[in-house]
Amino acid sequence: MGTPDRPLRKLGFLTIGVFDEQDPAAGHESTLQVIELGERLGFDSAWLRHRHLQFGISSPVAVLAAASQRTHRIAFGTAVTPLGAENPFRLAEDLSTVDVLSGGRLNPGFSVGTPMGFDRYREALYPDTADAEDYSANRLVRLLAHLRGEPVSATTAPEGFETFSDHVQPHAAGLADRVWYGGAGLSSVAWAGDHGLNLLTSSVIRAEEDDDFARIQAAHIRLFRSRHPLGDQARVSQGLVVIPTDSASPDQARRYREYAEARLPRTRQPLGPQRMLFAPDLVGTSEQIAEQLHAHAGFREVDEVAFALPFTFEHEDYLQILHDIATSLGPLLGWSPPG
């Protein structure tokens, strides 16, 4: 899949939605404009990262609700929302509401376990229950049950003029089937397959059985599909950082190369006790990037991507990168915008 004889089927992009602390409205508006441009260029999906106590989007559900009213076709995703910082019942209500507002375009993605940077805000979030909370995959099982419309109340008896449902409202039919799981290691991708979820595999994985990023990612995808009820038809989306320079100015191209080179040392070997391994950012012309992707074992296993936009670039940089991905790189990978 993703090779010249198996064309790329779905093209998406991922952004963190950076903003200036002194003017957060401008950064959020920039993100909405980027999503609008993505729809005009024909992208199939736009994905938002989820950040807490940082200068990136902290409420992707709210931003996607706004985006749903400014677009008509493009699908939305979160990649990923750390469930350890969420209440599954309340989140199910918010996700279902956005899915209804967007006409069924939401593709929420999640991670489980202790969220990144959790020690910074655990007491503010769970002042009395932090040590008692369950941060495991059981939290996602609860969320899925709510999204499927399973009962959460034992009664629907009215109270005066008030009527009640026994399951989360609004109910967004089909939303549970569009849930994605961010898997970085063998156990997590196997769990996602066993539970029939869609798999997000990004530019960060756990090097448990190898030191080669592309080989590890390909092995993860194959393991996931071997455990999934849909087998080879199970959906997987890859999220590498790609930065085409076809229409970039000389200054933009220089900054892009410097950005990638500064991040290169972390890609040379697994890091830390969990042996986290990062993929190199791909910078160059669309032809150069396409050649690298066609040789990438992980990419060859997928027919969907959500290419990640660099975190610290300017608004105009994102416009140029998205334009080149949609008009140059995508077609070289066999993708074509919807008719």
Which pairing describes strands 304-308 and 242-244: parallel, antiparallel, or unpaired?
unpaired
44 Cβ contact list (under 8 Å, min separation 6): 10, 11, 12, 74, 75, 304, 338
What is the pLDDT confidence band of residue 106, given thresholds at 50, 70 and 90?
very high
Question: Cα(83)–Cα(76) distance, rounded to whole angstroms?
Answer: 18
Using an 8 Å Cβ cutoff, are 266 and 204 in contact?
no
- Enter the tokens of residue 161: 């003029």
Query: Given a cut of 80, is residue 19 above it in pLDDT?
Result: yes
- Enter the tokens of residue 111: 């991670």
Query: Given a cut of 90, is residue 191 above it in pLDDT?
Result: yes
Average pLDDT (106-131) is 97
What is the assigned CATH class of domain 10-332? alpha beta
- Enter the tokens of residue 339: 């008719």
What rounded mean pLDDT belongs to the chain?
A: 96
Query: Given a cut of 90, is residue 6 above it in pLDDT?
Result: no
Question: Cα(334)–Cα(301) distance, rounded to whole angstroms?
Answer: 14
Query: Given a cut of 60, is residue 64 above it in pLDDT?
Result: yes
pLDDT digits (tens, 9 = 90+) for 212-238: 999 999 999 999 999 999 999 999 999
Question: Cα(91)–Cα(112) distance, rounded to whole angstroms?
Answer: 14
pLDDT digits (tens, 9 = 90+) for 132-173: 999 999 999 999 999 999 999 999 999 999 999 999 999 999
Percent of the chain with pLDDT over 70: 98
Query: Given a cut of 90, is residue 184 above it in pLDDT?
Result: yes
278 Cβ contact list (under 8 Å, min separation 6): 203, 204, 213, 263, 266, 267, 271
Question: Cα(93)–Cα(96) distance, rounded to whole angstroms?
Answer: 5
Average pLDDT (198-216) is 96
pLDDT at 167: 98
Structural domain boundaries of the chain? 10-332
pLDDT digits (tens, 9 = 90+) for 33-48: 999 999 999 999 999 9
pLDDT digits (tens, 9 = 90+) for 245-275: 999 999 999 999 999 999 999 999 999 999 9
Average pLDDT (16-21) is 96
Tell me the helix, strand and coil percentages in the chain, rounded to 5: 40, 15, 40
pLDDT at 5: 56
Average pLDDT (128-133) is 96
pLDDT at 3: 55
pLDDT at 110: 98
Helices (H), 112-235: 122-125, 138-147, 186-194, 213-227
Using an 8 Å Cβ cutoff, are 110 and 80 in contact?
yes
Burial class of residue 105 in the structure, from the number of CB atoms within 10 Å of its CB (0-12 exposed, 13-18 middle, 19+ buried): buried
